[in-house]
Amino acid sequence: MTRRLRVAAVGAGYFARFHLDAWRRLPEAALVALCDLDDAKAKSAAAEFAIPATFDRVGAMLDAVAPDLLDIAAPPAAHRVCLEAAVARGVTAICQKPFCASLAEAEAIVAAAQAAGVTIVVHENFRFQPWHRAAKRLIERGALGAVLQITFRLRPGDGQGRDAYLDRQPYFRAMQRFLVHETAIHFIDTFRFLLGEVSGVFARLARLNPVIAGEDAGIILFEFRGGARGLFDGNRVVDHAARNRRLTMGEMLVEGADAALRLDGDGRLFLRPRGRDEEQKVAYAWEDRGFGGDCVHALQSHVLAHRLAGATLENDAASYLANLRLEAAIYESAAQGRWIAVTAGGAPVTPTSGPAPPVADRGSAA
């Protein structure tokens, strides 16, 4: 009989429900408890997902149910207390992104976990979206030849008007660092997953909608150690063609010496060999369920495979720090208006290029 891991969860908000739904569908896992500061919200989610116990303090929950795994789907301000509680009790944890409230806090948590021999995984699920996994397989088998450039145009179209983000994740409006810290971090990780480590970045960021605190548009250039270039073109005010504009969140193009691979807003992949005009649709299996092609379920399955069968683990917290260091370099580039070279671990080094115009605030009635 397959062993079932006992899972306790923190968070009962909008995105936490994707986590709870995925755990309920995994036969190797059993949800045993849920924690949220809002008792009514916790009880409502517990009833919906058949979770037997609810708590309003993470430490009390861990002591009462002694889970094998703690899944933290709460905002960054809550990460440290939850992770410290897990580390103190030797409990493996999965933690939502953005991971911790700052890079320094994340580094401190990782150091404490390593000292205690506790595994922390960052719930960075975009690399588990089925189109990105399919793109990785095509790159690895040489279908594109040497990859020269990757471009992602983020266009969810949910950031326009005075009511932007209120219907789903209203805390977005108060985030002082928004587009990069909350959203582009997904693509920092995905770009590294597809093309390897980054050697430098340049960024121009802007706030288009004045009702929010942080940036909601920006252009980020990447240079990869393997020689490829990357472009992240993000704008949460405008949209793209898709039946569900939150499925892929935008469109991607990966260009190689032998072929180009295109992702559209409906999760379809198209391969165009060099010198030809016609694209070939790439067949791959995926299900339009949950969030982003059921990527939450895929990530949680991956963690279970690691815990139960020793499969290689992606996005352990120590490895994930490279993403946070790249995020810091991107904000530094935008603030200083210049190219920032980074180390193999993503940390900024002495910049080598000249100045550029400062970050723009293009506030309007968008």
Asked if 140 and 111 sit in the same domain, the reply is: no
Residue 328 within any structural domain of the chain: yes
For the cut 90, the answer to whether the pLDDT of residue 352 exceeds it is no
Residue 306 within any structural domain of the chain: no
Give CA angle at 189 (340, 74), nearest 5°: 115
Q: Is 181 exposed, middle or buried (0-12, 13-18, 19+ CB in 10 A)?
A: buried
Residue 349 pLDDT level (bands cut at 50, 70, 90): confident
Ordered DSSP codes for 144-165: TSSEEEEEEEE-B----STTTT
Asked if 165 and 281 sit in the same domain, the reply is: yes
**Per-residue model confidence as pLDDT tens digits over 174-223:** 999 999 999 999 999 999 999 999 999 999 999 999 999 999 999 999 99
Residue 12 within any structural domain of the chain: yes
The one-letter code for the residue type at 211 is V
For the cut 70, the answer to whether the pLDDT of residue 1 exceeds it is no
Residue 314 within any structural domain of the chain: no
The total of structural domains in the chain comes to: 2
Asked if 59 and 144 sit in the same domain, the reply is: no
Residue 188 within any structural domain of the chain: yes
Asked if 33 and 156 sit in the same domain, the reply is: no
**Per-residue model confidence as pLDDT tens digits over 16-57:** 999 999 999 999 999 999 999 999 999 999 999 999 999 999
Asked if 113 and 143 sit in the same domain, the reply is: no
Give the structural domain span for 243: 127-292+323-341
**Per-residue model confidence as pLDDT tens digits over 208-266:** 999 999 999 999 999 999 999 999 999 999 999 999 999 999 999 999 999 999 999 99
CATH number at residue 237: 3.30.360.10
- CA–CA gap between residue 224 and residue 192 (Å, rounded): 8
Give pTM, 2 decimals: 0.93
Asked if 77 and 160 sit in the same domain, the reply is: no
- The residue among 123, 153, 186 that closes a domain is 123
Asked if 108 and 181 sit in the same domain, the reply is: no
Question: What pLDDT was estimated at residue 346?
Answer: 79
Residue 130 pLDDT level (bands cut at 50, 70, 90): very high
**Mean pLDDT score of the chain, rounded to an integer?**
94
- CA–CA gap between residue 307 and residue 348 (Å, rounded): 34
Question: What pLDDT was estimated at residue 354?
Answer: 43
